[in-house]
Structure 1
């Protein structure tokens, strides 16, 4: 799954970029999902006193509302991006306003001042209103006016965005030598590949409170052997089974 984010200040053109990229990728026959970060603190899709609100207040989690043309699954917490993506099986997921995870990013801005204030790691394109006043590049990154060249920006997305990387602390895993966010920059610059991450084919995953914990192969093997050693003695186990253990 390839996931990228479009971020920037309000009224900078984020939604226009997201909408256009979704349409362009879908036109190319990719399956596309989206995630919209809403920064309004009082946002709540549920209506106080509604049936689903009563279910939630009674202790249900998640709560699902299913209508004729829509299904909404509601959790009473802010989920991490990996937890949200468990509900997706798309080739691309376009995020708008998501900045708390290690993703390749398109930055949208209305001015150069805004660009400087919000500049960070992982940016592979500049767009939004500021593209009307800049040249072809900014800080070595392509500047593309999405209204004039939507296909060119989509080409860049297809070229640059790679399968989702982890976002773990360097103290837990730094086997690539760059750290997760540093590796993102290196891949975007063409100086590394997605295969430089040791977790590219790992079949052992550890999550604590929804956050993936990076592990070197040696630690993965310890966990694998410990779990399979115990579980293999139980009825229902067979060789090459998929095993899931959850501890609360």
Structure 2
């Protein structure tokens, strides 16, 4: 799994079988949707060779003939079946299957989410030994450890502390949404020129009030650049060195054209269109 941030907040509810994962997701989803959040969920089915489709059915025959994806539509729901399992997916491609949502809640996927610091985690445990095991292995933010059993602090009771789990989830989602919005305003080049070294860390510092947007070196020098590049309406952030290389290279090429005289202080606009 990659280290780039996800485009929406993601919370993974992880744990072993019969640890309460589905119960937690039911409660969280119900309460979050009541608060106005649009929630998408994804479940890892830990059964070798499992298919949602049935052999011999029309949709199965579509897929067997090479269709991918197959879309099944009834009077009450629409199902999109992709012939790609866990081995061909990562979290970022999974998010690409979701048209629009405020957050994604995962059930399971422990092997690929435990080490991803961009995912908030709610860990369901059955014993104190499981708690200690997950606590050692987890990377990134653990929103809570919880259990269907009464194991004592800091492990929350699923039945008695669902409100606490919900509030922690909302706090995480709102923080991540704010950080991702700030990140959209940054170059996302991880150039290493500011003290935070990576754009996401700077975005977190701005959110926490420890930094400002113009602490980004590329944003700070932007007004002084003599060259700007826009691709499909979005500005491409470049540093002064690249700006000057592009400026001199383009002016140098144009200076070879008949009837063109370059002084070096020109305003130049080049537009490349895909229109035929």
TM class, shorter-length: 0.5 to 0.7
1:151 corresponds to: 163
CA-CA distance at 1:151 after TM superposition: 1.5
Name the count of aligned residue pairs: 193
- Within the alignment, does 1:133 sit opposite 2:140 as a pair? no
Q: 1:30 to 1:41 in 2, by over 3 A?
A: same
- Within the alignment, does 1:104 sit opposite 2:115 as a pair? no
- Within the alignment, does 1:91 sit opposite 2:102 as a pair? yes
Q: 1:109 to 1:230 in 2, by over 3 A?
A: farther
Q: 1:174 to 1:72 in 2, by over 3 A?
A: farther
Assess if the C-alpha contact under 8 Å between 2:190 and 2:197 holds in 1. no
Assess if the C-alpha contact under 8 Å between 1:37 and 1:97 holds in 2. yes
2:91 corresponds to: 81
User: Structure 2: which 5+ residue stretches go unaligned?
Assistant: 1-7, 184-188, 217-229, 247-268
Which of the numbers 12, 36, 47 marks the counterpart of 2:19?
Answer: 12
State which drifts further: 81-90 or 5-14: 81-90
Moved beyond 4 Å, runs of 4+:
172-180, 190-193, 216-219
| Distance of 1:111 and 1:7 partners within structure 2 | 14
| Deviations 1:166-186, CA, capped at 9 Å, x for gaps | 9xxxxx968555898xx6xx8
| Deviations 1:144-173, CA, capped at 9 Å, x for gaps | 22311212211111112324979xxxxx96
Partner-residue secondary structure (3-state), 1:134: coil
Assess if the C-alpha contact under 8 Å between 1:20 and 1:146 holds in 2. no
Partner-residue secondary structure (3-state), 2:84: coil
Under a length normalisation based on structure 2, what TM-score does the superposition of the two structures give?
0.59
CA-CA distance at 1:191 after TM superposition: 10
Partner-residue secondary structure (3-state), 2:156: coil
- Give the RMSD, CA atoms, in angstroms: 3.6
| Distance of 1:70 and 1:230 partners within structure 2 | 48
Q: Which has the higher helix share?
A: 2
Partner-residue secondary structure (3-state), 2:144: strand
- Within the alignment, does 1:116 sit opposite 2:132 as a pair? yes
Partner-residue secondary structure (3-state), 2:157: coil
Assess if the C-alpha contact under 8 Å between 2:39 and 2:102 holds in 1. yes
| Distance of 1:179 and 1:129 partners within structure 2 | 39
Which of the numbers 69, 76, 92 marks the counterpart of 1:69?
Answer: 76
Does 1 or 2 have the higher relative contact order (CA < 8 Å, sep 6+)?
A: 1
Assess if the C-alpha contact under 8 Å between 2:148 and 2:159 holds in 1. no
